[in-house]
Amino acid sequence: MILVTGATGNVGRHVVDGLVAAGSDVRALTRTPARARLPDGVDAVRGDLLEPGSLDLDGVDRVFLVWPGPSAAGIAAAVDAITKQARRVVYLSAMSAENGFWGEVEDAIERSGVDWTFLRPGGFATNTLGWAESIRTYGEVRWPYGEAARSLIHECDIADVAVQALTEDGHVGRRYVLTGPAAVTQAEQARLIGEAIGRDLRWVELPPEIARQQLLEAWGDEAFVDGALSYWASLIGNPEPVTDSVRRVTGHPARSFAQWARDHAEDFGAGGGS
């Protein structure tokens, strides 16, 4: 039995689908099982990682762990509960694990003595869904640092690697840095989304000081906003790295951003007018 946490999220839902296709017994952790809409045969259970006593771990051998950050508070109790039953944990971490709570979670898992695999993706392509309203309404993307190049990854590629790590041997003790197949500038990402939905989208370069104010209103955390803006600025001259981990683990190359845009065309208003 494999327990999938974050089972209704962008990655977790695809992990569930992949495990079902592989013939695994799957238990899906969600706060609202009645609304989960998971495949037939999946055991959808109510639970919360921040309340370890709520976890149904009976018979669970392996766990796909998505920690409900952005803090590692409570991780020790959750890992203790999980590792009393499970013998392998595949944790969805981050490329920048050394600089955030992701690293604290990794440390707690390592200290537990359980078999582990850490998936360290860079930026998620799904983050560009934040542009969807502006694209649908105005036919444009207003964002800073259009020339910043990112190796965004398709959520299905993360899920494919997770399924392999959960169902095969040979992945214990591995830290997989996961990226898309190329670094694509943010302005080019907007162009590719436009191509996928049949619209000629405009890129509007947003001054960093205006972007900072908007992001502060949306995110609230000043240090996080300033860190994000500084990081994006650095990608103009130093694009994000590209790895071949997806291909090495799954046997297929990572999906391109253009493919991701086509897969999510409806989210951006495919078929709308220019």
Give domain limits for the chain.
2-121, 126-153+180-240+255-274
Higher pLDDT, 272 or 190: 190
Q: Which fold has domain 126-153+180-240+255-274?
A: Rossmann fold (3.40.50)
Instruction: Judge contact between 26 and 20, C-beta under 8 A.
Output: yes
Query: What count of Cα atoms within 13 Å lies in the side-chain half-sphere of residue 55?
Result: 24
Same fold, 2-121 and 126-153+180-240+255-274: yes
Q: Which tens digits make up the pLDDT trace of 111-147?
A: 999 999 999 999 999 999 999 999 999 999 999 999 9
Peptide bond into 70 cis (omega under 30): yes
Residue 77's CB is within 10 A of a number of other CB atoms, namely 15
SS3 123: coil
CATH architecture of 2-121: 3-Layer(aba) Sandwich (3.40)
Cα separation, 145 vs 91, in Å, equals: 31
Reported as a pLDDT band with limits 50, 70 and 90, residue 36 is confident
> What pLDDT sits at residue 229?
95
Q: What pTM did the predictor assign?
A: 0.94
Reported as a pLDDT band with limits 50, 70 and 90, residue 221 is confident
Reported as a pLDDT band with limits 50, 70 and 90, residue 87 is very high
Instruction: Judge contact between 142 and 206, C-beta under 8 A.
Output: yes
Buried b (16+ CB within 10 A) or exposed e, 145-172: bbebbbbbbbbbbbbbbbbbbbbeeebe
Q: Which two tokens stand for residue 108?
A: 């707690």
Query: What count of Cα atoms within 13 Å lies in the side-chain half-sphere of residue 235?
Result: 26
